[in-house]
Chains A and B, each alone.
Chain A
Amino acid sequence: MGAFQGGLTYRQYRVKERLPQHWQARVQQGLAAHAAKPIDPDGDEERAVGWCSAQFILDTHVTLESCLYDPYLVMAMRLETLTVPPGLLKMHCEAEERKVKRELKKEALSRYERAEIRERVEAALRKRLLPSLRSFEVVWNTESGVVRFLSTNKGLNEELMELFEESFGVVLIPDYAYTIAQEPALGLSDEQLAALDAVEPTPFIDSETLYESMKG
């Protein structure tokens, strides 16, 4: 499944503004500045997104030349997560609590002691875990301004919109019935667009049929 082969599932966007004249330099700069970076296991970040190659997830040196399929740009948004699984954390916390209780010769630990143990154990486990990596292709037609993101996950789409704006300084407008209707290429008249702003849902069934159907 993806831009290069197989079936395609994606969310479609349109770049709101026209690209500036020297957009190539801006895109190159944005790709470099927002390239995917590994999460620091010593920190507390659990999730990070950035650009990587559409062909190889570990290649984060994305150049304009490497992703240009004129007039398309093809790159990927990489999602890296480093989270200690809750079950694993619970087991190691319990082991540590037992050890501390033995050392302090205490029957029970206070809430603060347990919180401190949890923090320490989580930090230690993070250093032993490998992050999870996934990437999602982005295909940008720089002539038409259409961007296709090969994921329909709501959260990921929100992260893409944010990353896109931060990287390239342009806003993405997602496809909805309203935004499609507003596209100049669709060619609706001013009168039709005015009617669109006032349109209300209409039932595709008359009240008599609905009443009969509900009676069974």
Chain B
Amino acid sequence: MDFVERVTRTQFLGAEFLTWLWYQEEMGAGAFELGGDLGAVELSFEDKLTMGSTALDEQQDSFKGGRPTASPEARAALALGKQAQSASLRLTQGEQEWRFTLKAEPLMVSAVRLPEVLADDPKAQFHERMLLLETLDRLYRALFKLFLEERLSAEWTTEHLPAVQAWAARRGPQG
């Protein structure tokens, strides 16, 4: 299998990752321990969510306003086997907060709103913005690594997947 085939064939991991984040947010109140200098972060799903499944049909469901992940409509889509294709998220680390959209295919962040920049000088402002952007990049990659560690483990099918499926089967929001 060549490189392009591998890239194409594993694109589904983006939607699985985003849906796994949703599951983790509900089960663990959005708290993640990323270790090292990244430490603890909190993640929450915000007011935009798109769900779809190429396996079932081409139809996508878009939710906007309020908290879509808590809505019966989004839960019904989940129960139909659809997965999150894009979602607006808020990620908090200490005093700093990033808002962005995470897209599944290709896996990427967009519409990034950085935490407040404190520098006055334009050049220093640029460097601070890039540092904040690179911190977001490290945070979301660390979350992706947490997902992959579960997803690529031998316990995925015996422990993790049944737990995710049990969560997805519940029609109402948690709590």
Contact = CB atoms under 8 A, between A and B. Distances in A.
Report whether chain A binds chain B.
yes
Interface of A: 3-5, 7-12, 69, 72, 74, 139, 141, 144, 146, 148, 152, 174-181, 183, 185-188, 192, 195-197, 199, 201-206, 209-210, 212-214
B10 A177 contact: yes
A196 B148 contact: yes
Contacts of A179: 7
Contacts of A178: 6-7, 10-11, 13
B148 A188 contact: yes
B1 A4 contact: no
Contacts, number: 137
A180 B141 contact: yes
22 contacts: A5-B125, A8-B111, A8-B114, A12-B108, A74-B126, A148-B133, A175-B106, A176-B11, A177-B11, A177-B17, A178-B11, A180-B144, A181-B144, A181-B148, A188-B145, A192-B152, A197-B1, A203-B165, A205-B78, A205-B80, A205-B169, A214-B80
Interface in B110-140: 110-114, 122-123, 125-127, 129-130, 133-134, 137
B30 interface: no
Interface in B126-175: 126-127, 129-130, 133-134, 137, 141, 144-145, 148-149, 151-153, 156-157, 161, 164-165, 168-169
Interface residues of B, number: 52
B107 interface: yes
